[in-house]
Structures are given as C-alpha cells and as structure tokens.
Amino acid sequence: MKFPAPIQKGKLIKRYKRFLADIELDGKVITAHCANPGSMMGVKEEGANVWVSAAQNTNRKLKWDWQVIEVGAARICINTAIANPVVEAAITAGQISELKGYGSLRREVKYGQNSRIDILLENPSRPLCYVEVKNVTLSRQAKLAEFPDSPTVRGTKHLRELGDMVREGHRAVMFYLVNRDDCEGFELARDIDPNYAEEFAKAKDMGVEILVYRTQIKTEGINILPTPLLVI
C-alpha cells in the first residue's frame, strides 16, 4: 500500500498532547498530526529521523501527517490509521493465506456493543469472518514486538466482542500488524495491561484466531511480508 502522499524526512522535536508533534522539516518547524492514541513507548525519541506526508485535505488545520520514525536501523510506522488499509490491501491481493476465499470485504461494519469491526469478510458458503486489526509498534527486547504499549479498555472490549461472534457461530480474527521491520516474534505486554492479557487468553480459548504479520516499510509505501510471526 502506498502512502497517501510522498513522504519527506525530518527530525522529531517533540510529541505532545497525544495527537501533535513538532518536527523540523527543511529548516522550518511544522506541527504534524500524530495519529496514535497510545503511549508510543520507544518510538517518540526527540531528535530521531521521522517521515511525514502532506495532508490530503488542504483545508485541514494541520497540514502534515507523521507517518514513520527511525529507531536505530529500524523503521516503524506510528500512524495507526494506516494499519487497516495495509491489511485490507494484503487480503484483497490474496497475501494472507488464512483469510483467502471470501467474496467481499467491508470496512467499519457495526457489531457488538456500539462497536464497528475493522474488516468483515463474507462468502455465502462460509460463516462471516470478523477481523479486528491492531497496529503494533512496541519493542522492548531485540527482535520482539509487544502489544499493547499502554492500558487499553477499548482493546479489551474488542477481544470480548470477538469472542461473542465466535459464540454466535461466526469466525473471529485478532490481527496484530507489527508495523516495524526489525521484529521476528510477538508477545503480549502483560505487565502493561494484565486485564488485556486475561481477556486475550479467554478469547483464544473460545476460538478467536490470532494472526501476526510484519510489514516492510519503504519510502513509497508499506507491504505485509508473507510469513506470519511467531507468537510467544
């Protein structure tokens, strides 16, 4: 999947108020939209190389979107809004073997308790397939990705609702998109959110499927690599 606009390299000055980031770009300081509600632990270091793109809506107050940060030799996409389109593109292209064989794909379909599923896959001859996507950026150990990077009541609710879909006879998938190119394994950050870890175990026991894939991040866009990551 290509970025919505060409990305440009800058230096991170600071991230603040959750959704704002001051960035040095071409000798000037710009304020970019930071589409990431998490703590961004380890991926918001001041002075790091970052990549931004111009906002598609020219009438928007913030004219730039922060997309990628470099941590050492790794590139990490911090924009959580990109995860769903990346996964959708991979499913449509038949790159996710576990999610092949569906005739239609819909986004943001209402389900559960006032929720919307990220992706709903449908085929008349198969149960509905509910796919919830999470953008993963945290890595506290070399080559190991973790989720979440902060307590997530909303994420815990999603696990519970996926379990409800399985109970109703549907298929449910929790898809963790490791949006960094330096990890080979994945595990839950149980110390950060024990409640999420507990709900994860319950959902898995109920039959919620767990998929973990890693991306390759280039200046022109993001692609999912074909081999799933090891879940630890």
DSSP state string for 158-182: HHHHHHHHHHTT-EEEEEEEE-BSS
167 and 198 assigned to the same domain: yes
- pLDDT tens digits for 98-130? 999 999 999 999 998 889 999 999 999 999 999
β pairing state of 144-147 and 185-188: parallel
Name which of 194, 201, 181 is nearest 71 in CA terms. Answer: 181
192 with 142, same domain: the answer is yes
SS3 content of the chain, % helix, strand, coil (to 5): 20, 45, 35
Q: What is the pLDDT of residues 11-56, one digit of tens each?
A: 999 999 999 999 999 999 999 999 999 999 999 999 999 999 999 8
With a CB cutoff of 8 Å and minimum separation 6, the contacts of 20 are 31, 32, 33, 34, 62
User: Do 184 and 69 lie in a common domain?
Assistant: no
Bridge partners (DSSP) listed for residue 226: none
pLDDT at 98: 97
In contact, 186 and 144? CB cutoff 8 Å: yes
Look at residue 174 and tell me if it is in a domain.
yes
Structural domain count of the chain:
2
Confidence (pTM): 0.95
189-219: per-residue pLDDT in tens?
Answer: 999 999 999 999 999 999 999 999 999 999 9
| Residue 169 reports pLDDT greater than 90 | yes
Q: What are phi and psi of 14, to 5 degrees?
A: -170, 155
**Same-domain check for residues 120 and 105:** yes
Instruction: Look at residue 212 in the predicted model and tell me its pLDDT.
Output: 97
CATH number of residue 57's parent domain: 2.40.50.580
For the stretch 124-152, pLDDT in tens is: 999 999 999 999 999 999 999 999 999 99
Whether residue 223 contacts residue 93, with contact meaning beta carbons closer than 8 Å, is answered with no
Q: Is the pLDDT of residue 232 over 80?
A: no
